[in-house]
C-alpha cells in the first residue's frame, strides 16, 4: 500500500516538475517589439532603478551600478560609438529613450533586476520616484498637472503619448512633442515657462507640497530638480548629495532615516523638536 | 484614403514591376557594401520597427493578387555571431531592426509572398546607417517617417537634427529664444547671453529667464510677460522699488530677486 503511494507521489512530483518546467519556458519572442538577446550577455546587479540613466553624475553610476554593469553597458554601447563612462553618461542623458535599444543585450539580476528587465520590455513606472516630505503651503495649483516623473522619458514619446496627455498635460501644453530621444533637457529648459521654473526658488519640498486636485506635486519637484541639476533627487539623496534650494529643503536631508508611511505629510510643527 | 491607397499601389507597383527591381537593387547594394546577408521567403521577424508607421496590410492586397512579393529587411545586431541571422532574430538573441513598406499581418498569410532579407549589421553603426540611407533614398522616404530612436542610434540626429526634432518644436524653441533676446536688448549689461540659449546647466541656470516681477505666490497669476512691462502694475503686493529690483536683477541675478520676493511676501 505504502509502496504504491510512494510511487504515486513520485509520479506526481515528476509531472509537476515537468509542467512547471514547461510553464516557465521562456518564449522565443518577448512581449514587446524589442527582441532582447540573452546568450553571452553579462549579468549585472544594479543597486538603483533605471532612472539613473537620466542622472548626469558618473560617480553615482559607479557607486550604484557598479563596474560590472558599466562594463556590460559599455560593451553594448560600442555599437553607438561610446567607449568610456563619461561619454556613456552623456549619451544616455541626451537620448534617454534610445537607451532601451542600446542596452537590449544586458541581463539584470538582484533587487532592481526585475525593474530593469521590465524597462527593456517597455514597461516603466510613471510616477515620481522621490517622495518629498510635505509642508503646509496653503495654496493649490489646480492649473498645473504634471504627475509623470522625468524618468518616464526613458520610453519613447511616440509610444507613450497618451499617458503624457493624460498625466502631464501641462508639459505638453508648452512642449507638444517631448524629444525623449534627443537632448530633452535642453529643449524642455528652453520651452518651459519661467513662471514654473521659478517655483523651485521656494524649495523643492514646497513645490512637492503644492496640491493639484488633491494630488501632491512630487513629480513637478523632480522635474525642476532635474532641469536645474541634470540629476534626479532620489538618487542624489541615496548618494547624500541632495542640493537644497531653500531652507525648507533641509527637511529632505534630515529625513534620510524617516520611519513611517512614505509620503505621509510632515508639517513644520512636527519637525520643531528635531 | 482611397486616393492614398491608389497612389501607394501605383508607386509600389511601379517599383516592383521592373522585374522586382527593388529586390535586385537591394541584392546589389548588399553585395557591394560587403554585408553578410541571407534572403528567406517568409514574413519578417519581430523587432524594432525602422519606420514610425508602415502602410496598413489591406493596401498590399491588390499587389499581392498581382503576384508581387512583399520585401522586408531585418538588420540584425547579434552578439553571438555563430547563431544564424534568422534564428537569432526569431529566438530573441539579437536586436533586429525591421523595415517593410507594409506592416505584416497574419491575414496576409497565404495571400501574399513575403521575402525577408536578413542583414548582419554586426557591431558597427555605420552598417546600419548605410542601410537606412539606402532605404530612405530608394523608397523616397523623409527622415520624419523613421523611428526616431533608430535615427538616434545610428547618429543621424547629430547630423540632421531636423530629422529628429519636429519642426513644430524647433520653431517653438526659436520663438522662445527670439523673445529672450528681445527682452535682453534693453539691458546690455547682462552677461548671461550664453544662458539665453536655454542650456540650463547648473543650479538656477534655467531660472535666468525668470521674470523677477512675477509674484511667486502660487495662486495662479497669468504667465504672460508681466515682468518687463511694469513692476508698477502690482504695487500693493510688492512694495519694492522697481529701480532697486532692476539693479538687483543686474547685479545679483534673477534667482536673487526671486528669493527676495519670496521672502518679502
This complex has an ipTM of 0.74
Mean pLDDT of chain B: 75
Assess whether pLDDT exceeds 60 at residue A259.
no
The reported pLDDT for the residue numbered B207 is 43
In this complex, is the C-beta atom of A5 within 8 Å of any C-beta atom belonging to chain B?
A: no
With contacts defined as CB-CB under 8 Å, which chain A residues touch B93? Answer: 35, 37-39
Interface mutation vs chain A, best among B177, B218, B257, most A CBs within 10 Å: B218
* Residue B247 binned pLDDT confidence (cut-offs 50, 70, 90): confident
Secondary structure element (H or E) that encloses residue B69, with its range: strand B69-78
The reported pLDDT for the residue numbered B223 is 38
With contacts defined as CB-CB under 8 Å, which chain A residues touch B151? Answer: 181
Residue boundaries of the structural domains of chain B: 2-164, 204-265
Q: For cell 503619448, what's the residue? A: A161
Cβ count within 10 A of residue B57:
18
Residues 6+ apart with CB under 8 A from B222: none
Q: Say how far apart CA A34 and CA A119 lie, in whole Å.
A: 11
Interface mutation vs chain A, best among B87, B125, B152, B194, most A CBs within 10 Å: B152
Cβ count within 10 A of residue A255:
18
Cβ count within 10 A of residue A92:
23
Put simply, the answer to whether A198 touches B207 (Cβ < 8 Å) is: yes
Secondary structure element (H or E) that encloses residue B196, with its range: none
DSSP string of B80-124, one letter each residue: -TTS-HHHHHHTT-EEEEEEESB---GGGTTTSEEEEEEEE-TT-
Taking the CA of residue B154 and the nearest CA in chain A, the distance in Å comes to 7
The reported pLDDT for the residue numbered A139 is 87
* Residue B255 binned pLDDT confidence (cut-offs 50, 70, 90): confident
Q: Say how far apart CA A78 and CA B79 lie, in whole Å.
A: 12
The reported pLDDT for the residue numbered B184 is 77
The reported pLDDT for the residue numbered B195 is 45
Q: Is A51 helix (H, G, I), strand (E, B) or coil?
A: helix
The reported pLDDT for the residue numbered A6 is 53
pTM of the model: 0.71
For A23-64, how does the pLDDT look when each residue is reduced to its tens digit (9 = 90+)? Answer: 333 333 333 445 444 444 558 999 999 999 999 999 999 999
For B176-229, how does the pLDDT look when each residue is reduced to its tens digit (9 = 90+)? Answer: 888 888 887 765 555 554 444 444 444 444 443 433 333 334 444 333 343 344
* Residue B88 binned pLDDT confidence (cut-offs 50, 70, 90): confident
With contacts defined as CB-CB under 8 Å, which chain A residues touch B129? Answer: none
Cβ count within 10 A of residue A219:
28
C-alpha distances in Å from residue A168, one per residue of A174, A185, A206: 11, 16, 19
Q: How many helices (H) and strands (E) does chain A have?
A: 15, 4
Residues 6+ apart with CB under 8 A from A99: A53, A91, A92, A154
Amino acid at each position: 500500500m505504502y509502496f504504491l503511494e510512494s510511487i504515486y507521489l513520485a509520479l506526481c512530483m515528476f509531472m509537476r516538475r515537468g509542467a512547471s518546467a514547461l510553464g516557465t519556458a521562456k518564449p522565443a519572442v518577448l512581449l514587446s517589439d524589442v527582441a532582447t538577446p540573452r546568450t553571452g550577455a553579462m549579468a549585472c546587479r544594479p543597486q538603483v532603478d533605471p532612472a539613473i540613466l537620466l542622472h548626469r553624475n558618473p560617480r553615482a553610476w559607479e557607486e550604484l551600478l557598479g563596474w560590472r554593469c558599466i562594463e556590460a553597458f559599455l560593451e553594448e554601447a560600442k555599437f553607438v560609438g561610446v567607449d568610456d563612462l563619461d561619454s556613456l553618461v552623456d549619451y544616455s542623458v541626451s537620448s534617454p529613450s534610445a537607451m532601451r535599444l542600446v542596452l537590449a543585450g544586458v541581463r539584470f539580476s538582484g533587487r532592481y533586476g526585475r525593474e530593469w528587465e521590465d524597462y527593456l520590455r517597455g514597461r516603466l513606472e510613471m510616477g515620481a520616484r522621490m517622495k518629498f516630505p510635505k509642508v503646509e503651503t496653503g495654496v493649490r495649483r489646480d492649473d498645473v498637472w504634471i504627475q509623470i516623473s522625468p524618468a518616464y522619458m526613458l520610453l519613447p514619446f511616440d509610444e507613450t503619448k497618451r499617458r503624457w496627455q493624460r498625466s502631464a498635460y501641462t508639459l505638453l501644453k508648452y512642449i507638444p512633442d517631448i524629444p525623449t530621444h534627443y537632448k530633452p533637457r535642453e529643449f524642455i529648459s528652453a520651452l518651459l515657462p519661467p513662471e514654473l521654473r521659478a517655483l523651485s526658488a521656494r524649495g523643492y519640498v514646497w513645490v512637492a507640497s503644492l496640491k493639484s486636485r488633491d494630488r501632491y506635486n512630487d513629480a513637478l519637484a523632480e522635474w525642476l530638480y532635474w532641469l536645474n541639476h541634470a540629476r534626479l533627487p532620489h538618487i542624489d539623496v541615496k548618494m547624500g548629495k541632495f542640493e537644497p534650494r531653500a531652507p525648507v529643503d533641509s527637511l529632505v536631508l534630515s529625513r534620510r532615516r524617516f520611519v513611517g508611511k512614505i509620503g505621509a505629510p510632515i508639517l513644520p510643527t512636527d519637525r520643531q523638536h528635531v | 484614403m482611397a486616393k492614398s491607397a491608389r497612389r501607394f499601389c501605383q508607386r509600389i507597383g511601379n517599383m516592383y514591376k521592373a522585374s522586382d527591381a527593388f529586390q535586385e537593387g537591394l541584392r546589389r547594394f548588399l553585395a557591394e557594401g560587403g554585408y553578410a546577408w541571407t534572403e528567406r521567403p517568409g514574413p519578417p521577424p519581430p523587432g524594432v520597427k525602422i519606420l514610425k508607421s508602415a502602410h496598413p496590410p489591406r493596401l498590399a492586397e491588390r499587389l499581392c493578387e498581382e503576384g508581387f512579393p512583399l520585401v522586408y529587411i531585418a538588420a540584425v545586431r547579434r552578439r553571438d555571431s555563430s547563431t544564424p541571422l534568422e534564428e537569432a532574430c526569431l529566438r530573441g538573441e539579437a536586436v533586429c531592426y525591421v523595415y517593410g513598406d507594409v506592416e505584416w499581418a497574419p491575414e496576409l498569410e497565404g495571400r501574399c509572398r513575403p521575402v525577408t532579407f536578413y542583414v548582419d549589421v554586426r557591431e558597427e553603426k555605420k552598417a546600419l546607417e548605410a542601410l537606412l540611407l539606402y532605404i530612405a533614398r530608394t523608397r523616397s522616404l523623409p527622415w520624419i517617417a523613421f523611428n526616431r530612436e533608430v535615427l538616434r542610434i545610428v547618429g543621424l540626429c547629430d547630423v540632421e537634427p531636423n530629422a529628429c526634432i519636429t519642426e513644430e518644436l524647433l520653431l517653438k524653441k526659436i520663438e522662445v529664444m527670439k523673445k529672450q533676446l528681445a527682452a535682453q536688448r534693453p539691458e546690455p549689461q547682462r552677461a548671461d547671453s550664453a544662458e539665453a540659449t536655454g542650456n540650463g546647466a547648473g543650479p538656477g541656470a534655467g531660472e535666468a529667464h525668470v521674470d523677477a516681477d512675477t509674484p511667486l505666490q502660487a495662486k495662479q497669476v497669468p504667465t504672460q510677460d508681466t515682468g518687463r512691462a511694469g513692476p508698477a502694475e502690482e504695487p500693493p503686493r510688492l512694495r519694492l522699488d522697481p529701480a532697486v529690483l532692476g539693479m538687483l536683477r543686474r547685479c545679483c541675478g534673477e534667482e536673487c530677486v526671486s528669493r527676495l520676493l519670496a521672502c518679502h511676501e
